[in-house]
A = this chain, B = another copy of it.
Amino acid sequence: MVLSLNRRSDIHGILIQVPLPPQVERRVVLDAVLPEKDVDGFHPVNVGRLVAGTASLKPCTPAGIMQIFKRYHIPLVGQRAVVIGRSDIVGKPVALLLLHEDVTVTICHSKTPDLSGVAREADILIAAMGKPAFLDDSFVKPGATVIDVGVNRLESLDKIREIFGVDSPRLDEHARKGYTLVGDIHSASVFPRASYLTPVPGGVGPLTIAMLMANTVRAAASVAGVAVFSDGGTASRL
């Protein structure tokens, strides 16, 4: 299936929707996608190029995060970033992209002692751990830029009231759907302390989709031999 899509000249981008059924080997399917059509940027060749700083198809969520810094003119050179979470999809690639922008990068994870102490070193804090509202202001240096990549379903009414307040529209949402989406950041606690804080939902998520579209255009343009310039904020040439 993937191989036939690889061969079709009218297909420029292929995305494997994970998780796959348990009987299917995830790695084998992902690696089967032609690197030039790998709009997720997950193929080893594209990951390898990401490390070298030569990737044209970058993973979408990290690329979206970088767009936030560019569009909001948040300085990167010489800043310290702390990335919490070391996934192949977010933590590791965003650390590499930041490194290439002259940021001093620390990657933390479940085995990091004194996480709050390390996190407070960050001018730029990127939360990608998957623990609802886990990080409060004790993890945040005053004035830091905080990027919340977590997307967690929160079902506890008490917890929703605690995070969003007793008169939040989130309670109506809970009444309708039985849950609300919350990031890794305790937004009420962190908001007064941070310079910037991305919302969940509506922060990094939509940018991931936008970057997927950008990668698809890139992949198509590359086949067509066309140079594409992104609009405004970035100067990335394909």
Q: B-contacting residues of A (Cβ < 8 Å)?
A: 27, 43-52, 54, 77-78, 80, 86, 88, 92-93, 95-96, 99, 102, 104-109, 111-113, 118
Contacts and interface: CB of A to CB of B under 8 A. Distances in A.
Given A44-B46, A104-B106, 10 more contacts: A44-B47, A44-B48, A47-B52, A77-B111, A95-B107, A99-B107, A99-B109, A104-B111, A104-B118, A106-B107
Given A44-B45, A51-B47, A52-B88, A106 B106 contact: yes
Contact of A52 (B44, B49, B99, B112): B44
- Which 3 pairs between the two chains have the least Cβ-Cβ distance? A44-B48, A47-B48, A48-B48
A102 B106 contact: no
Given A44-B52, A48-B48, A108 B104 contact: yes
A92 B52 CA distance: 9
Contacts of A46: 44, 48
A85 to B, nearest CB: 11
Contacts of A107: 95, 99, 104-106
B54 A27 contact: yes
Contacts of A102: 109, 111
A88 B107 CA distance: 18
